[in-house]
Amino acid sequence: MRLIVTAADETYHRSRTDYSWTKPGEILTIGSDDAFVGIDSRKYTTRGKVVEIVTNRNAVTKQMITLLTAQGWYRTDREKQSAECRKRMLEVFNLARGFELEDEVEVFRGRLRLVPQKSGEGQAA
């Protein structure tokens, strides 16, 4: 399953505004207009990486229910969840669409984009 995971740890900084309080390799979803949130730790990070993970949809769905319940979106007393909750539930499965494996991504104004490469990065010497 292609998902987005933490691209960095507490010591990784590409810029002065980078941060990561998530666990290494944690599955991410959009947490705010400028950051991802780890679906297990509920902590934030600025960078994600597209990877192929061996997991099943039910395990990720259970983690998302826990996250959305803590955030107040998922209500256990409702038979049918709100449209916003259903949207957020599916979001984690669709974020990696359109990106290649190992692409580094960030959230910019609530949407994903490739991390811009600094000049000289990724070029052969």
pTM over 0.75: yes
| Residue 50 DSSP SS3 | strand
Question: How is residue 40 written in tokens?
Answer: 């297990």
Instruction: Count the residues in the chain.
Output: 125
d(CA 104, CA 45): 13
| Domain coordinates in residue numbering, the chain | 2-114
Model pLDDT, residue 100: 93
Q: Which of 104, 94, 90 is nearest to 45 (CA)?
A: 104
Model pLDDT, residue 11: 56
Mean pLDDT by 10 residues, the chain (125 residues): 82 69 89 88 91 91 87 84 84 90 90 75 46
Model pLDDT, residue 84: 82
Residue 121 is classified by DSSP as T
Model pLDDT, residue 36: 92
Model pLDDT, residue 123: 45
CA distances in angstroms from 100 to 38, 104, 108, 115, 123, listed in the order given: 21, 9, 18, 13, 18
d(CA 7, CA 33): 18
Q: Which of 50, 61, 64, 57 is nearest to 101 (CA)?
A: 50
